[in-house]
Structure 1
Amino acid sequence: MRRIMLAGTQSGSGKTTITCAVLQKLVNDGYDVSSFKCGPDYIDPMFHGRVIGTRARNLDSCFCDSNTLNTILYKNKGNISVIEGVMGYYDGAGASGSSWEIACQTATPVILIIDCKGMGQSIGAVMKGFLTFRNPSRIAGFIFNRLPESMVPEAERLCEEMQTAYFGRFPYIKEAQLESRHLGLVTAEEIKDIQKKLALLADAAARYLCMDKIVKIAEQAERPAFQMVMPQPVVHGGRVRIGIARDEAFCFWYEDNLELLRELGCEIVPFSPLWDTHMPDGLDGLILPGGYPELYADKLSANKGFRQELLELLKSEIPTIAECGGFLYLQKSLEDKNGIVYDMVGFLESDGYRTDKLQRFGYVSLKALSDNMLCQKGQTLVAHEFHYWDSTDCGAGFMAEKLSRSLQYACVVADDRLYAGFPHLYFYGNRDAACRFVKCCDVYRKKGNSGAAERRE
């Protein structure tokens, strides 16, 4: 399996821009390309998949063991796979979750991107430091971002001196910069002239990067030793229909989550709280993922008939997972980015409000304080949080503990039919919880509760 990782010395090194350039060039050249993002980021994989057209997934060693990581990698492989790193190459949640750890566990060769702006000979010190900090480093060579053309001979000399490969330089292209928001890239639909920008990036990759060498080093990746993880269906006698909110307001979901649900015996039914006038018929479960509901609070509030149907369905005790933005949507009201408060679904007796700073960020271990839909009392889930908005009641079904430091707090509204809170779940890292959710949906189906049509008659 041909694969390569593009990692950076630090956040802001240019790895996302250069990864997009490489992906678009490979797609233009006719490759069947798969892309992967290290860590829990939703937006980069969404961008790769919807705009560039790759098969896009996440690889996260905080969520998954080595067998699961490699299973995801191999199940979703194309004829070449490109993995984008996260933060700095050796950075993670404490000792785990780094791009380096994932490169080691998947036996993937790495091309490290250095932002050379403002550096001369210090570039060599950075190279040597990253090559020798861990053994093995798995670094096959370097791309030099924002390196002046006059310094190319020196960069090539440094690579030869350190017995590593030169994979090219990448210039700053003002017209091809990709806009960002607090969660990273903005969604693809929001980027002006996106196809023009990607065309410029692909052209730069062809002109300035050693694309043939990149493909060749990808061909040299060895197969790691691992056992495939093969989930089995947990429902029989018909598929469970799970509705998932998918539109501009609710756009943060893991494709791996949906894939696992299908393997467990589910049919995925998308719907839009923004644009649909009715809920889909015959649903046995609901997923309301994260996103940017605060940017669309006026439109969500204006869709009153849909909100009422959803509220009635929730009152029927349909099994529901509502994460972050989905959690905010279920509350009585939501304050938008301009400070205007709008009515929401009203299933929860709390209100979502705007803050001026990041409220929670990072991986958390969630310990159940009582039996609930996803786990028994005392069992744990691993999750991730990143949100600026907050709630007047974040729930008390779980005790969260930060994986990177000693901090605990109560969170999540949880009972035998509901998980609603800010922490995002990755099902491959919480397979037992995913199975329990599907079984709960199956019980709801067999009781004859499925559907929304009868509530419209």
Structure 2
Amino acid sequence: MRIPRLMIAGTGSGCGKTTLTAGILAALNNQGVDLQPFKAGPDFIDPQFHSHIVGKPSRNLDSWMMTPEMVRYLFCHNATGVDLALIEGVMGFYDGLLNEPLKGSSAELSVILKTPVILVINGKGMSLSVAAMIRGYMGLSPDVNIVGAILNQVREPIYKQLKPQVEEMTGVPLLGYLPPMPDIELKSRQLGLVTPTEIVDLDAQIAKLAAQITESVDLQLLLNLAKSAPSLDHRVPEELVSALEWGSGSPVRIGIAQDKVFNFYYQDNLDLMTQMGAELLPFSPLEDTQLPSELAGLYIGGGYPEVYAAALSENVTMLESVRTYGQTKKPLLAECGGFMYLGRTLKDQADKEYTFCNVLPVDFHMTERLSRFGYITLTAQREGILGGPGMAIRAHEFHYSDSSDNGDAFSAVRPNGRSWSAIHMTDTLFAGYPHIPFYANPVVAARAVKTCRAIQDGHPPDHIFRS
């Protein structure tokens, strides 16, 4: 299968790859190019910028949490027929797990997907060192295919002097540059960029960025390089086929928290649930007064409840609606920020306490540093909605808070061997800090949807374990 594709990779975090990716997407979208954006790794926020710009969901591709076969399937499934599939890398190009070199890195993903790479270099304060960097990145692995570079934070006169020299020394074309643009600011907080819904003048910033990219980056050469990508074979993984056969069925109503507070969802998770029969009904814990009616399941993903803690705690009718739902023992999935929202209280860094849903007798407090973070392998310690004893699920944690009780239904083990207990789980409840990409183990989605369907059809939740 021929899919024109490129990866925008960086020499390190903060080099400008997110800004360049956003600008390229906007500039090409203005020209009518049919785009499908992707983000390497588990990041939730960068894909929201992609989606805002091109008007379709961006997708995550993670080579640690998913098998190579699943990564290829998801890429081809979502990118077939587009003019350009553009993948934004994660961290520095070769940065992965320290104890498993290249694992989970942008470089590994580019090899799995046979994708040509454009390297983004922050050229501020450099001249021919740019050439040395390009040659170093090209030479570290014979398997990667770096086909070009873009310089960030470089003014036009310097770029014009560097371009012929760098190209002669490396054999790699410089596609363009981005000069310093102090009025373009994609602001950050502890979990990464501020989300698109929180930036008032985002569209104006994106328009300026697109105009600059159109002027200073050779977009036609970029498209031509994308067309040089080789054919990519894929098939539907057997574990996905089995999960779809087992989990699919009649429509089932599942409420999903979606607003500027709770928006950390993998689009492919939602699509897989929908494919299995879930009718996802969005609601806002911040703005709405009660849950959608006649729900057979509830899904509250991650986000920033600590930022909106006062407003959430003041929406007492919604707190009561969620608390009442929790008392019904119907299926309830809550990840990270959603887990916090189900708790009794949240204490911020100023020691001010806010009251939340009290579905779980758990208290939360904000921390100054990451409490537990990174990739983990979850292993179920007992039977429950998402797993049975010994069932393994790859996931990740990333949070600046902790709780009085993180649960003990799963053991969580990092690749370096560090471990802890995690997640509250019953036949109908899954609540904890880990984020789970369902395509890492598709039967997880099947168990969730099938449990909701059993409840809707009047069966006990453990009905699915006998079917």
TM range (shorter): over 0.9
Superposed displacement of residue 243, structure 1:
1.1
1:89 to 86, 93, 105: 93
1:7 to 1, 6, 9: 9
- 2:376 corresponds in structure 1 to 364
Q: 2:324 & 2:411 partners in 1: Cα distance? A: 30
Superposed displacement of residue 150, structure 1:
3.4
1:137 to 144, 157, 168: 144
Superposed displacement of residue 292, structure 1:
0.4
Contact 1:51 1:188 in 2 (8 A): no
Instruction: Give the secondary-structure state (helix, strand or coil) at the position aligned to 1:269.
Output: strand
Superposed displacement of residue 149, structure 1:
3.0
1:423 to 399, 420, 434: 434
The TM-score normalised by the length of structure 2 is 0.92
Letter in 1 for 2:431: A
Superposed displacement of residue 160, structure 1:
2.7
- Say if 2:111 is the partner of 1:104: yes
* Greater Cα offset, 105-114 or 154-163: 154-163
Superposed displacement of residue 440, structure 1:
1.1
**Equivalences for 1:114-263 in 2 at 5 Å?**
114-152=121-159, 153-229=161-237, 231=241, 232-234=244-246, 238-263=250-275
- 1:388 corresponds in structure 2 to 400
Contact 1:66 1:226 in 2 (8 A): no
Q: 2:285 & 2:85 partners in 1: Cα distance? A: 34
- 2:329 corresponds in structure 1 to 317
Identity of aligned residues (%): 38
**Equivalences for 1:293-312 in 2 at 5 Å?**
293-312=305-324
Superposed displacement of residue 346, structure 1:
0.5
1:436 to 447, 450, 454: 447
Superposed displacement of residue 291, structure 1:
0.2
Superposed displacement of residue 358, structure 1:
1.3
Superposed displacement of residue 33, structure 1:
1.3
Unaligned runs of 5+ in 1: 451-457
Letter in 2 for 1:49: S
Contact 1:169 1:209 in 2 (8 A): yes
How many pairs does the alignment contain?
Answer: 449
Q: 2:407 & 2:358 partners in 1: Cα distance? A: 15
Superposed displacement of residue 124, structure 1:
1.9
- 2:424 corresponds in structure 1 to 413
* Greater Cα offset, 113-122 or 376-385: 113-122
* Greater Cα offset, 322-331 or 298-307: 298-307
Instruction: Give the secondary-structure state (helix, strand or coil) at the position aligned to 1:365.
Output: strand
The TM-score normalised by the length of structure 1 is 0.94
Letter in 2 for 1:216: N
* Greater Cα offset, 20-29 or 278-287: 278-287
2:387 to 356, 371, 375: 375
* Greater Cα offset, 1-10 or 62-71: 62-71
Contact 2:349 2:365 in 1 (8 A): no
Contact 1:233 1:263 in 2 (8 A): no
Letter in 1 for 2:224: K
Change (3 A) 1:337 1:366: same
Q: 1:91 & 1:295 partners in 2: Cα distance? A: 30
- 2:464 corresponds in structure 1 to none
* Greater Cα offset, 147-156 or 164-173: 147-156
Instruction: Give the secondary-structure state (helix, strand or coil) at the position aligned to 1:438.
Output: helix
Q: 1:348 & 1:308 partners in 2: Cα distance? A: 13
Letter in 2 for 1:141: G
Letter in 2 for 1:442: R
* Greater Cα offset, 218-227 or 143-152: 143-152
Letter in 1 for 2:356: M
Q: 1:348 & 1:55 partners in 2: Cα distance? A: 33
Contact 1:70 1:228 in 2 (8 A): no
- Say if 2:341 is the partner of 1:334: no
Instruction: Give the secondary-structure state (helix, strand or coil) at the position aligned to 1:19.
Output: helix
Superposed displacement of residue 192, structure 1:
3.4
- 1:453 corresponds in structure 2 to none
Instruction: Give the secondary-structure state (helix, strand or coil) at the position aligned to 2:107.
Output: helix
Superposed displacement of residue 118, structure 1:
2.1
Change (3 A) 1:237 1:291: closer
Superposed displacement of residue 233, structure 1:
4.9
Q: 2:245 & 2:266 partners in 1: Cα distance? A: 19
